[in-house]
Amino acid sequence: SIRHLVITGGEPLLQKKELKILCSKLKQIGDFHITLETNATLFDAEVAENIDLFSLSPKLNSSHPNQHIISINPACIQKFITHAKTQQKEFQLKFVYACESDIPEIKELLSQLKEWQREDILLMPLGESADILRINTHKTLEHCIRNGWRFCERLHISLFGEQMRRQLHQAGHLYQRSYQIYHPPVAFGYDAPTEDKFRCCRQIVSAFRQSRSHRHNCTSHRRYLVSSVRCLWIISFVSG
């Protein structure tokens, strides 16, 4: 049975009202361990009450090289950390390594935060394919060893390669088509009907379960499981 739920996006906290209701109902109907994937630019105390693991993934400058965007909010990140510490919950700070300039940016951010340990820091190599991952993994491991951080693998790429990306892409198109057929032809975003979001979630889970390799590969990780049987990823569709 499903016990681990990971809520991701987009940015889930753009829908904090719906997210609060969702997490509260999930806790009422089952003993679920809920992870929230967020870029940590928004914090909501009511939502946080029902989260077990905060996976904080601030977006570094390398993630938007041609845009002048301030996408890191140290004060907000500290709110997540302080809440996790005071409520005996878990948190992790996960960064995507794309180039050498990421490392001093990460260290500068960490210098502004309190109550974290080296093992709370995860570094993940950039890459949407196995070939690109191989290029970036060596340097990522080097920085993890040098700084005492944890290495975070892109398990979905390592295990399934392009197959999972294609399935997610296909599920997204199914959602768009169903929305256009049964609703007025308008762009959908975080204000899309809740039942449509759940319909798309079911389509994504169905696509995973139809994958022979996914059914026969169950890989555990220290903090969460990646498996069609024991872990459900809730995709939150947001505009932009």
Which among 234, 235, 159 has a CA at the least distance from the CA of 2?
234
Residue-level pLDDT at 52: 97
Find where tokens 């449509």 sit.
196
Q: What is the distance between the alpha carbons of residues 31 and 2, in angstroms, rounded to a whole number?
A: 10
Q: What is the distance between the alpha carbons of residues 221 and 159, in angstroms, rounded to a whole number?
A: 13
DSSP H or E run through 197? helix 194-209
Q: Say which amino acid occupies 150.
A: R
Residue-level pLDDT at 154: 83
Tell me the two tokens of residue 19. 């997210």
Residue-level pLDDT at 212: 40
DSSP H or E run through 4? strand 4-8
Per-residue pLDDT of the chain (240 residues; tens, 9 = 90+): 788 999 998 899 999 999 999 999 999 998 899 999 999 999 999 999 999 999 999 999 998 776 666 689 999 999 999 999 999 999 999 999 999 999 999 999 999 999 999 999 999 999 877 778 888 999 999 999 999 999 998 877 766 666 655 665 665 554 444 434 333 333 334 444 555 555 555 555 555 455 444 434 433 333 333 333 334 444 443 333
Residue-level pLDDT at 94: 97
Q: Is the separation of the CB atoms in 11 and 18 below 8 Å?
A: no
DSSP H or E run through 93? strand 90-97
Mapped onto helix, strand or coil, the DSSP state of residue 94 is: strand
Q: Is the separation of the CB atoms in 51 and 35 below 8 Å?
A: yes
Q: What is the distance between the alpha carbons of residues 142 and 138, in angstroms, rounded to a whole number?
A: 6
Q: What is the distance between the alpha carbons of residues 22 and 44, in angstroms, rounded to a whole number?
A: 14
Mapped onto helix, strand or coil, the DSSP state of residue 43 is: coil
Q: Is the separation of the CB atoms in 133 and 160 below 8 Å?
A: no
Residue-level pLDDT at 229: 31
pTM reported for the whole predicted model: 0.70
Residue-level pLDDT at 186: 32
